[in-house]
Structure 1
Amino acid sequence: MHKIKRSLTYIFLSIVSFVSIFPFLWMIISSTNKSVDVTKGSLLPGTHFMENLRNLLNTTDLTTALLNSAQIAVITTILALFIASMAGYGFQVFRSKSRDIVFNIILLSMMIPFAALMVPLYRFFAQISKVAPAIGIDTLSAVILPTMTTAFLIFFFRQSTKMFPKDLLEAGRMDGLNELGVFIKIYMPTMKTTYAAAAIITFMSSWNNYLWPLIVLQTPENTTIPLLISNLGAGYAPDYGVIMTAIVIATIPTAAVFFIMQKHFVAGMMGSVK
């Protein structure tokens, strides 16, 4: 009976795994086929990947789009981790009467859909463009600034800080470190799994961000990889082989970041501190 249950479990897990990975496999297979084969639903690998890649490079500025997306994702991730971790650390370590009120207000902001913020944000950056064009409309800074931290990340770091050994903080203070020194030299190295999990979430979110860049970026020089893929599919007769090739290339950075940091990601999501 035990062997039957184990066999059924493995069969179920195998089916779920296949269903989960099939879209990814189909995407890779489609990138090797012509557009007509993709529309027919061919599940056999083809020999047209290099042709699709050449067409992609000849018809789009793929390098610029990748560099723009990378710049946005990396800068956003670095800023988000530093700001959110400082906020989460402060909300948990320092006590005051208004602490919980401010934190609850931050959490309530998660209930506001981004669609309700698009127009005010755009008008805000339109006004900034008149004073400081370098961070106004049609700049990468306009994409980075609204997303350089989120209420979720602040909440995530505060919850993780609850399990942080308070003795380490006291030891650092007794050794003469100021609060910033305690944060940088003790808190940050100890919470590396939490930082890894937050980095993966933030990097993927920034890399795949579509709606706000679509609104605020207006020139081809500032396009990102999601916008480039969207433009490829917006033509009268889209080449699905080329589109799939672009999607495969766009998936590689996020997949690489996740697989490199997956062990820390699991530990960080479970709230472990080592």
Structure 2
Amino acid sequence: MFRVREQLGFSDKLLAECGRDRITVAMLDTGVARHPDFDDRLLLFRDFVNDRKDFYDDSGHGTHVAGCICGSGRASMGRYRGIAPGCRLIVGKVLDYRGDGMLQSMTRALEWILNNQEEFQIRILNISIGMGEASDEERMRELLSLVDEVWNRGIIVVCAAGNGGPGAMTISPIGARKKVITVSCNEDGYFGEREDLCEEYSSRGPSPYDMRKPDIVAPGTDIISCNAFFEKRGFRYRNAYTKKSGTSMATPIVSGALALLLQKYPKMTNEQAKHKLIMTARDLNEPWSKQGAGMIEINSLLT
């Protein structure tokens, strides 16, 4: 995450200007571990897979995503902190240790988010899940309708485009919706001629519901963030961070930036936030189906 902040030109001074009001972000993923970088900011957990009670992550995916959003960098002296290190997390575990899940779990989780929206003042929902087409069309319609309802209730829904590219119309069914912010990967030349970049397999638009998809891109290759399987040795932590790639990593970078935006402008609506995100993006001169409006520009977004 140090590299991402440096790449995007996101300074400590700009972070300080966002104020101290903590935004609550909900996340549906493989769960989250009690990593030192989350301090006391893990507010609520619900396991829709194994029905366990305490925070955990048997995959590591969710913990990494959460670190991108709001890790404090405590175990790295701030080097690998997330984009919005002050925000709070509500986590629903909807995927198992292999990253597999059921539509029913996602549906129940979205209902859970709506039921807890007011009590915990949930402003953003991060879904770093690239779902394929489901055979149960009725359940899928119910799920997508709930995604729309979450947006209609004022929550910013940020979701991964998926890693099914580079073919056209490969965006995940959730990411294909109009009432979400769909995130793909792009490194904007940071790694030179390297060939295994996330942007090469990041899913492409358009979608059946919105021809202008994805909405935006963010870095997603070799992102270093929190490791669920860290070891504590005295006052030190071993293997506290790990490296992952994909649109799942690009998505929480956008969620974190939007959390800072709401922290600075708490009365901004989800529609206004999406509009500003798109209007302040930097055009990479790629087709919209690959880059959306362009690369997220955090400095411009927060001014």
Query: Would the TM-score normalized by the shorter structure come out above 0.5?
Result: no
Structure of greater Rg: 1
- 1 or 2, which has the higher strand percentage? 2
Q: Structure 1 or 2: larger helix share?
A: 1
State the TM-score bracket (shorter-chain normalisation).
under 0.3
* TM-score normalised by structure 1 residue count: 0.23
TM-score using structure 2 length: 0.22
Higher RCO (CA 8 Å, separation ≥ 6 residues): 1
